[in-house]
Amino acid sequence: MGHGDANAIQIGWQNLDASITKIVVYRSLAEGGPWSQLLVHGYSSATNPYAVQIVDDTIGTPHYYKMEARDQAGAVVATYGPLLLSP
Output the pLDDT for position 16: 84
**Neighbouring residues of 22: CB distance < 8 A, sequence distance ≥ 6:** 40, 41, 42, 43, 69, 70, 71, 74
Q: Can you tell me the mean pLDDT for 46-66?
A: 81
Q: What is the pLDDT of residues 69-80, one digit of tens each?
A: 999 999 999 999
For residue 46, pLDDT over 60 is answered with: no
What pTM was computed for the model?
A: 0.82
Higher pLDDT residue, 41 or 47? 41
Round to whole Å and give the CA distance between 30 and 72.
30
